[in-house]
Structures are given as C-alpha cells and as structure tokens.
C-alpha cells in the first residue's frame, strides 16, 4: 500500500511519517524544499498550487491523507486551505485515487468565529462534494514533540506566569501520535468510516477547563505557575503586541482570539471515532510530561 501525504514536513505530518514507518507503510510525501532521504518515504517536490506535482504525488496511491494547510496567515487561508484542498481533490480524481482522509479542525464547527475556521468549513464542503470516498477528521488542540503552538504554554510555565483564555471555557486536546494512529487507521475506509466526520480527543469527558489544563502543563514542567485568565479584550491587545514583536511569526493572532474566546471546544460525544477502530492511548498528563522532556532535550527550553 502507498499513501500520499500532504503536509509531511509539518508537526502532524512528521508524526504520521514516524507512525507509518513503524507500521511498514510506504508514503509518498509532498515537500516544498529538498528533504533528507528517509526509509519508506518518496519525496515529491512541490506544493498545493502545483497541479503536476500533486498528480505525481497521488499517482498509484490507495489513499490521500491531506494534512497541509495554513494556520496563522489570514491572508493565505483561502488559497492554502480552500483552493489547496480543491487542488488535492482534482489531482486524486484525475489519477483515480478513490480515498481521501481530510484533516480539518474543530474550529470548522463554528465558522463564524474566525477566518481560519471559516476556511476549514469551506474546505470540508469541497471534500463532501468531491465524489471521493472521504472521511473528515476535526482534531481539537494537538500537542506533542515538535509542536510550536502549545510550546508557548510550556515556555510561559517555566517563567511562572501563564495568561490563558476566559475562565468559563473548556476544550478537548489530543496527542499528535494518537492522531497519527487514527489517520492511518482510517486509510482502508469501509462502511463504518466512509463519509463520516470525526472529532477525536484524549478520551477525557467534558474536556479540560483552561485553568486545569494550564496547571497540568505547569506540573509537566515541574512548576506551579500563576495562572491568569484574560478577557477577550485583553487577548486582542496581546495579539496586537505579539504581531508587533514577531510579525508573521506571531502565535497569538487576532483571528485566533475569536475562537480562543469561545467557551466550548469540547469534542461532540457522538462524533468520536468508532471505539473498535481507534482509542487514544496516551494519557494527557503523561503526554505533557514527555513533551516537556522533549522540548528540554532538544534545546527548545
């Protein structure tokens, strides 16, 4: 079996390559820049705008796992998340690839809250209308080694002060390796998973309150940080400051504030993947601890 993969050089994509290697699967992976050779991986040079590269990527594959997308740059959401998904669909249809696993976002559930969520919702509609055998996965917050978003929380915990979203909010979370296992488990398709939209998580009922999750990150870092809830107005101010300081590398954007301020990012119980297919294996506290150790070992902290 050959799996075509977009977003292979990113956080989730790298975890997928690791998991596919463990399972002895062959992957053809899209990359914009030259990559070091990797056993079991055939690199294809190109991006989501390159039709010829996408057709080379998917040719002869049994399935496409579409991970690539734009997360931070609002000006690129339409091109990267919507048009890019359409280009992947057209390449798969042209090459006769029947199966598409599309990685969306829980933010697509509330598209009015952010431009990012709206772009992911539009991409989902394209997938549903594609005529392919599809499954959509809407992950909640994803953490683990190599992640740059939750890394900010670990770094703040080390400093002893953690500003977080409003007090009433709750959210689900998932370790990147658990997500990678799910995506690979979905590749064969079948009547139980085809044409379904799933919201996976760590298995914690009712998700995590912002405060308790912040304290869990602090525990993973061996700290007891001062946790401060910020209002939406304060988050917007912080986003503007982050933009001035880090420019396009800012992690807290004004668009993200829209969904960070929403009180309910807990996965829908009825949309969890079938238990006979997949269950999360990494308890979140243990996963956070291992992630903190990875950051320290790699010199991030």
pLDDT tens by residue, 8-58: 999 999 999 999 999 999 999 999 999 999 999 999 999 999 899 999 999
Residue 288 lies in a domain: no
CA distances from 255 to 125, 161, 205, 240, 276 (A): 21, 23, 28, 11, 37
Average pLDDT over residues 231-235: 84
The average confidence (pLDDT) of the chain is 94
Residue 12 lies in a domain: yes
pLDDT above 90 (res 164): no
Residue 234 lies in a domain: no
User: What is the CATH classification number for the domain harbouring 89?
Assistant: 3.40.50.720
Could you say which of 116, 143, 150, 295 is catalytic? 116
HEC profile of 219-253: HHCCCCCEEEECCHHHHHHHHHHHHHHHHHHCCCC
Residue 165 lies in a domain: no
List pLDDT tens digits, range 171-190. 999 999 999 999 999 999 98
Residue 232 lies in a domain: no
Per DSSP, 82 falls in state I
116 an active-site residue? yes
Residue 248 lies in a domain: no
Q: Structurally, how many domains does the chain consist of?
A: 1
Pair of tokens at residue 4: 């075509």
Q: How far apart are CA 174 and CA 250, in angstroms?
A: 23
Where do the H-state alpha helices sit in the chain? Answer: 11-22, 51-58, 77, 84-95, 115-128, 151-159, 176-185, 210-220, 232-246, 254-260, 284-297
Residue 168 lies in a domain: no
Segments forming the whole domain that contains residue 34: 2-142+174-201+267-280
Residue 230 lies in a domain: no
- Of 124 and 231, more confident: 124
């Amino acid at each position: 079996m050959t799996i075509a993969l977009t977003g292979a050089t990113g956080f989730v994509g790298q975890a997928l390559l690791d998991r596919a290697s463990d399972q002895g699967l062959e992957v053809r992976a899209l990359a914009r820049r030259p990559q070091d050779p990797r056993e079991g991986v055939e690199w294809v040079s190109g991006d989501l705008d390159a039709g010829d590269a996408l057709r080379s990527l998917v040719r002869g594959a049994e399935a496409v796992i579409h991970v690539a997308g734009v997360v931070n740059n609002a000006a690129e959401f339409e091109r990267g998340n919507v048009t890019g998904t359409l280009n992947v669909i057209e390449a798969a249809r042209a090459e006769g690839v029947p199966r598409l696993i599309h990685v969306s976002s829980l933010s697509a559930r509330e598209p009015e809250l952010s431009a990012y969520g709206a772009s992911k919702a539009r991409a989902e509609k394209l997938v549903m209308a594609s005529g392919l055998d599809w499954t959509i996965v809407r992950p909640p917050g994803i953490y683990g080694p190599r992640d740059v978003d939750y890394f900010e929380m670990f770094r703040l915990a080390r400093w002893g002060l953690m500003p977080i979203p409003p007090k009433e909010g709750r959210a689900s979370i998932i370790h990147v390796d658990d997500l990678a296992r799910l995506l690979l488990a979905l590749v064969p398709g079948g009547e139980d998973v085809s044409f379904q939209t799933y919201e996976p998580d760590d298995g914690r009922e009712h998700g995590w309150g912002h405060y308790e999750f912040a304290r869990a990150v602090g525990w993973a870092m061996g700290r007891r940080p001062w946790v401060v809830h910020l209002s939406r107005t304060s988050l917007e101010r912080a986003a503007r400051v982050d933009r001035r300081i880090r420019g396009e590398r800012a992690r807290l954007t004004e668009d993200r504030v829209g969904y960070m301020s929403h009180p309910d990012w807990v996965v829908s119980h009825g949309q969890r993947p079938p238990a006979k297919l997949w269950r999360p294996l990494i308890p979140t506290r243990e996963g956070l601890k291992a992630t903190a150790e990875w950051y320290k070992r790699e010199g991030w902290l």
